A and B are shown apart, each in its own frame.
Chain A
Amino acid sequence: MSAPTLDRPVPDETALQQQFDATIAADHRIEPRDWMPEGYRKGLIRQIAQHAHSEIIGMQPEGDWLLAAPSLRRKAILLAKVQDEAGHGLYLYSAAETLGADRADLTDKLIERKQKYSSIFNYPTLTYADVGVIGWLVDGAAICNQVPLCRSSYGPYARAMIRVCKEESFHQRQGYELLMTMMRGTDAQRAMVQDAVDRWWWPSLMMFGPPDDDSPNSAQSMAWGVKRHTNDELRQRFVDMSVPQAEVLGVTLPDPELAPDPETGRYRFGPIDWSEFKQVLAGNGPCNDERIARRRAARDDNAWVTEAATAYADKHAAVGA
């Protein structure tokens, strides 16, 4: 951060830490100008950037169907949705910038694979049913993850999340509605929906991150109020929510061990293949290279546009001055 201004006394770090701790303890918000521990700042930048990258990379799997959407209404819905995702990326990069990060730098880190994004977007979209299943399951999982973040201790992130969650919940209903329509259609459409559910169910469960006993950043994030629930708690909620929705839809979730637990009233589910998760996270998923290559091309092939806009702004600022 910047050096203290001239005459102001250098504040006592212990006092600042106490004030920060008191704000967190009272469940109040930390705002950009407030003092915060360096670990809190860095952790937040990492989390928010990863979230922003996920929105931007997440435009691609569904974006691949924009030109070939099967009706004009579905095209409009999908184009508006993908546009919303770009908007979410923008709010989130802006939230990261309130912590001193720079969007161009974060984009470079994404392209150079120094920062991650949600692994789910490294799977391909094979049929139009994938668009519906992404809305239902992937956006559904994202909502489970993100609703608690509306109460994140960091103000700009929490406020961004409120808007993002409203839009995500709308996308989820649209995705589910597409699937309902397809299930009322032809046998081929029903088969497409089931196939998409089979492919996306387990990766959706992995979206909540590693199990609690293997989640390196969780404990500190919980203590700081950046994160509100553990990965396993959120995953369980998602399963409990999705099972009845799958029944209404008329699809089978691809887990023979999925069953209600009479003691807890929740659903038990089978073991998750974490080796797959780690493979995809390590960059070896089906579409990792393609996703990053698209962003790299968008940056590099269009660098001349950004340079021109900057040159134009400089020129005209100088004229105006």
Chain B
Amino acid sequence: MAHEETVYEALDHAHGGEGQWAFGTGFDEPLAGVDTTVPEGIDPADLGAYCLMLGDDALVLCQRLTQWVTNAPELEEEVALANCGLDLLGQARLLLARAGSVGVLGRSRERATASIPDEDALAYFRDPDEFRHSGLVEAPNGDFGQTVVRLLAASAWRVALFARLRESRDPVLAAIAAKGVPELTYHRDHAARWVLRLGDGTPESHRRTQAGVDAVWPLLADLFTATDVETRLTAAGVAVDPAELLDEVRDVLTLVLERATLTVPEWPAPQPSRGRAGDHGPESAVLIAELQATAREHPAATW
């Protein structure tokens, strides 16, 4: 038993190496070592605003998925939803850091101390009306059926977008999108499998999931109308006009719902997004207050 003399030596001796770990103990800025120069002809303010929209979507949906951790139907689902949340959190960190790298920090930089990195200044020191996420991700989870319907819709939209953004003229955004596509494809697949099981499971699960579909559907209305920022960036080859995503998203959702024996509601008429303009429902204020509580209680702290 000599090799157990100190447990750490034993552990290191027997099972050394830590290359497999996702998170080290040092601090790396998400974009450390990346050339963040903005290519010519791209307005940095627009690019930053666009990254905030996409970053906030990911951050807010991560918060929603995290609410299932310790409450999920199965342990496997605790792992899976946490995993989707982690992927989205990673995307949020990169996108917020990209916004910060082009100087789009809003009022957050006045509130956050200099030692707080841009990603955290943006996540923790903006007010709710400075967030740019969509109404789809801010809506409360509802039951597990509604949660997976929303995850399906959100990931179908996002994977359609990110697949196209791989060609963005901003190389940083293109790289973030390329990293995100396989993650989002997995989320979409995971959610679709649950919608199939629940839609075509028991009468109760069918009823609940149909109710989830009916609750989520109206939220799709404001995902497909470009903001002025998106219109300008699309013309500059940086962004994608969300109207372009409509056919793909509708096809994916229709296919899954029909296979799941669910009724596909009438597609809502596209309308300008309130969320992208910073106009959020009361649920957002609660969600953001919770997100920011610790950081704002100790504004001078380092974590």
Contacts and interface: CB of A to CB of B under 8 A. Distances in A.
Contact of B123 (A60, A72, A302): A72
B298 A67 contact: no
Given A83-B83, A150-B14, A186 B300 contact: yes
Interface of A is mostly: helix
* Most chain B beta-carbon neighbours within 10 Å: one of A79, A89, A174: A79
A76 B15 contact: no
The interface size bin for chain B is 35 or more
A67 B197 CA distance: 29
B69 A82 contact: yes
Interface string A152-193: 000000000010011001100110011001101110110000
A44 B109 CA distance: 56
Interface in B65-81: 66-67, 69-76, 78-79
B7 A72 contact: no
Interface of B is mostly: helix
B298 A305 contact: no
A237 B7 contact: yes
B294 A185 contact: no
Interface in A112-134: 128
Interface string B189-206: 000000011101110110
A67 B23 contact: no
A173 B21 CA distance: 12
A207 interface: no
A302 B82 contact: no
B267 interface: no
A307 B21 contact: no
Given A77-B23, A307-B202, A308-B204, A87 B79 contact: yes
Nearest to B81: A83
Contacts of A259: none
Contacts of A65: 294
Contacts of A165: 11, 15
Interface stretch (B87-95, B170-178, B229-237, B269-277): B87-95
Contacts of B63: 67
Given A68-B291, A174-B25, A308 B197 contact: yes
Contacts of A304: 202, 204-205, 208
A67 B301 contact: no
Contacts of B123: 72
The interface size bin for chain A is 35 or more
Nearest to B79: A86
Contacts of A189: 298, 301-302
A148 B123 CA distance: 43
Given A71-B295, A173-B25, A181-B303, A312 B200 contact: yes
B163 interface: no
Contacts of A45: none
Nearest to A192: B298
Interface in A76-99: 76-77, 79-80, 82-83, 86-87, 89-90, 93
Interface in A274-313: 294, 297-298, 301-302, 304-309, 311-313
Interface of B: 1, 4, 6-8, 10-11, 14-15, 18, 21-23, 25, 27, 59, 63, 66-67, 69-76, 78-79, 82-83, 85-86, 89-90, 92-93, 96, 116-117, 119-120, 123-124, 143-145, 196-198, 200-202, 204-205, 208, 290-291, 293-295, 298, 300-303
28 contacts: A63-B69, A66-B66, A67-B63, A70-B294, A71-B303, A72-B92, A72-B93, A73-B27, A76-B90, A82-B70, A83-B78, A86-B75, A90-B75, A90-B76, A144-B7, A162-B15, A174-B23, A184-B302, A189-B302, A294-B71, A297-B71, A302-B144, A304-B202, A305-B73, A307-B201, A307-B202, A307-B204, A308-B202
Given A72-B92, A79-B85, 15 more contacts: A67-B291, A70-B301, A70-B303, A72-B120, A73-B93, A76-B90, A77-B23, A80-B86, A83-B78, A86-B78, A89-B75, A162-B15, A182-B303, A186-B301, A313-B197
